[in-house]
Amino acid sequence: MRSHRLKVFVVAIILIVSFSVIAADEVPANQQTQSVVVNVNIPQTSMIPTGVDLVAANTHSIGLGVSTPIYGTEHNVIRNGKVFTEKLTGINWALGYTWRHYFGDGLPQKGGALYWEFLTMAIIVPMVGIGYEYRFNDTFRIGVGFPDMLSVRISL
């Protein structure tokens, strides 16, 4: 009984598929097909509205300082065509985790910015810090603050 139903089902599927293929190939004699290609030129600058922040590729850096991440991730954005580091996160030398946020637009490619940070020490002891960091070029920067008296970072 089941094999009979299966055979009827398979034959019905084959008939439906073959009929739909035949019906799709038939084009009425009075119908014509056309292709239209439209080229639109839009300047790239108009694609990005003024004042919009774009997320840039995150970079990594190594550092030396109490609250400065040993190996950190720099979260970058593009503002007005310039790259700024908004925040820095990673595991610090005090065996905890650091979330460093830069004031204003962030830390520019060349220049300095104030920052505040929330960090943990010995995994569970919370702490808040503040400081100033200056980036000399794309790779090297130095900072002062609390709990870091002096910190040094090198971008990779």
Dihedral of the alpha carbons of 44, 49, 50, 53, in degrees to the nearest 10: -100
**pLDDT per residue over 71-120, tens digit each?**
999 999 988 888 899 999 999 988 899 999 999 999 998 999 999 999 99
**pLDDT per residue over 3-39, tens digit each?**
667 676 766 677 665 655 454 455 555 666 666 666 6
Give CA separation, 154 vs 37, 45, 64, 66, 72, in Å. 51, 33, 9, 15, 10
Contact of 147 with 66, CB cutoff 8 Å = yes
**pLDDT per residue over 47-59, tens digit each?**
555 555 677 778 8
> For the chain, what is the radius of gyration of the CA atoms?
31
Return all residues near 25 (Cβ < 8 A) that are at least 6 apart. Answer: none
Give CA separation, 70 vs 56, 67, 95, 98, 154, in Å. 22, 9, 10, 10, 10
Predicted pLDDT of residue 27? 53
pTM for the model stands at: 0.63
- Location of structure tokens 């009979």: 4
